[in-house]
Structure formats: structure tokens, C-alpha cells
Amino acid sequence: MLTDLLIVAISFTVLVWSADRFIDGAAAIARSFGMSPLLIGMTIVSVGTSAPEILVSLMSALAGAGSLAVGNALGSNIANIGLVLGITLLISPIVVGRTTAFSDLPLLLATIVLCAGLLHDGVLSALDATLLLCGLILFLLRMARHGQRPDQSDQPPEIPKISTRKATILFTVGLLLLVGSSRALVFGAVNIATAFGVSELIIGLTIVAVGTSLPELAASLISALKGHADIAIGAVVGSNMFNLLVVLALPGLFTDLTLATDDIRRDLGAVFITTATLAAFTWIGWNKVTEVSRLGRVLGAIFLSSYVLYYVILFFDTTKV
């Protein structure tokens, strides 16, 4: 057991570190090919922040632990809003632009409803996975189009100025370490689940979900402390979309995965409620003059409280006879 805990701890550390290297390398390579910083931020950086979840999902599917991947996808979405946005908002208010408010958030809510419809029978099939991946293609096309015609509130990310050779090395090393650490993480997490007698889904919803959300948490906190908390909302919404359209879909491509319908209702319900709360506060606070919505500490406290409440419910659900 101690060995498995050590494997998980080391894997998380390497996973977070390698994700940063992977993103920096990919972004620098894309810039060398002439992509605009904003477009890089909306595509490569957004995908890169979900790299830990995607790799863990893939390794889980290959290891026959698909439920771990599903728990990771849903748990990461809950953590991204409840934990990441909650803490960020307590540090600094966030300004939400028109595209996030009236395009990305409605699309994210629609995607959650789609997932609920596909999983209502308790089975994640190859057809379900294919439909989700088709949704990913449409989402990427929308992001690319928006990158060509951005909003005034859009802020391009800071892209490191490094040579193409160094960028290629960072990209390659980051990718290799991402694969290796995610595989080790799945191995340790499955062993821990077996030892404690809990399901892979619960391990995915808790330990793995929080661990793979660390890149978003770190990036959001640093942005907030530097006075650029606005970046957090785009990162979280984009990451949550990728979690549902990629991370959740991957296990279904390998085999039909049977899931407990009560668990799906609980976890997807939590994802929907937290996302709907974010959307509601954004729309209610919309300022027609400045064309932005300002989210503050009250919402941050609500998110953190709801995150703790979710874990209390999860605890009682897993301990009831």
C-alpha cells in the first residue's frame, strides 16, 4: 500500500511538471509556424491543460479500468469549478467576456445534457464515444473560427520565447513523461482502490480527479496573484469541455463500459449544477455597457462550499450499506 501511495504521489508530480513542458513546447512550435498567440491559447493551450486527464483516461482504458477514466472526467469537471474557480474567485474577481458568457457556457451546458442522454442507460458504448468525439471536432472548429475574429476581452497567453529546437525537445520530453507518469498513476490508483475495496469510479472522482486538475489550479492561482484572474475562466471552461468530449469518450472506444446509473445521476448532476450556477451568475451580472460580467468572492464561497458538500454526499453514498 505504501508503495502504491508513493507511486501515485510521484506520478502526480511528474504529470504536472511534464504537462507544463508539453504545453510550452507545443505553443512555441505553433508560433514558429505563424499561429497567432490567441489561437494558440484557444486550441493548443486549452488542449494541453487537459493533457493529464486525457492521458490518464487513455491508460485507464488500455488497462481495462474504464470506470477510473469516467470518474476522472466527471470529478475533474467538478474540481475545476468547485475548487479551482472557487479558490481563484476568493483571491481575485474574474471578468467574463461575451464569447464565454453566450457561446462557451451554453455549449458546455448542452454537452453535459448530451452526456446525460447518452449515459442514461448506464452504458458508455462505441457509438456514444464517437458522438462525443464528433462534438469535439465541431468545438475545435468553433474555437479556430473565433481565434480569427476575437472579442475585445480576449487575452492571448504568454508564450515562451524559445528556439524551435528547444521547443521540440520540451514537447517530446513532456509527452513521454506524460505517458509514463499517467500509466504509473493508473497502476497505483487501481491498486489503492482494490486494497480499500472501493470502486475505480470513486478513486477517479477523488484522488485522480484532484491530481489531474492541479495544472488548472496552479495556472489559475498564479494568474490571480498576478492580477490576471480572467484567464482562469477560459481555461476551466475549455478544460471541462475537453473532459466531457475526450476524457469521458475514450473508454467507450475500447469496450462497452457498464456504469451504475445512480452514480452517473449523482456525478453528472453535480457537474450540471455547478456549471449552471456559473452560467446563471454570469448572465445575471451581465453589463450591457461594458459587455462583460464580473464574478466575485460570493460565488467563490458558493463554489467551495458546494465542492465540500459534494464530497460529503460522496462519502455517505460509498459508506451506506
Cell triple for 316: 455517505
Using a 10 angstrom Cβ sphere, with 0-12 exposed, 13-18 middle and 19 or more buried, the burial of residue 173 is middle
Q: Are 24 and 177 in contact (CB under 8 A)?
A: no
Fold assignment, 51-156+197-319: A middle domain of Talin 1 (1.20.1420)
Supply the pLDDT for residue 157: 57
What is the DSSP pairing of strand 286-287 with strand 94-96?
A: unpaired
Domain spans of the chain, in order of start: 51-156+197-319
Q: What is the pLDDT of residues 51-100, one digit of tens each?
A: 778 888 888 888 888 888 899 899 999 999 999 899 989 988 888 888 88
Supply the pLDDT for residue 64: 83
Q: Which residues pair with 292 in a beta bridge?
A: 287
> What CA–CA distance (Å, rounded) separates 186 from 192?
10
> What CA–CA distance (Å, rounded) separates 183 from 202?
18
Q: Edge-to-edge strand order for the sheet containing 286-287?
A: 94-96, 292-295, 286-287
Supply the pLDDT for residue 187: 83
pTM equals 0.82
Q: What is the pLDDT of residues 163-198, one digit of tens each?
A: 888 888 988 888 888 778 877 887 888 888 778 888
Cell triple for 79: 474540481
Supply the pLDDT for residue 309: 95
Supply the pLDDT for residue 227: 67
Using a 10 angstrom Cβ sphere, with 0-12 exposed, 13-18 middle and 19 or more buried, the burial of residue 2 is exposed
Supply the pLDDT for residue 321: 46
Supply the pLDDT for residue 186: 79
What are the phi and psi torsion angles at 63 (to 5°)? -90, 5
Cell triple for 29: 512550435
The dihedral over CA atoms of 89, 213, 312, 295, expressed in degrees to the nearest 10, equals 20
The CA-CA-CA angle for residues 234, 114, 237, to 5°, reads 5
Look up residue 162 and give its DSSP letter: -
Supply the pLDDT for residue 45: 63
Average pLDDT by stretches of 10, the chain with 321 residues: 85 80 78 66 65 82 85 92 92 86 92 95 95 91 69 59 85 83 81 81 84 73 68 80 92 90 93 96 92 92 95 83 46
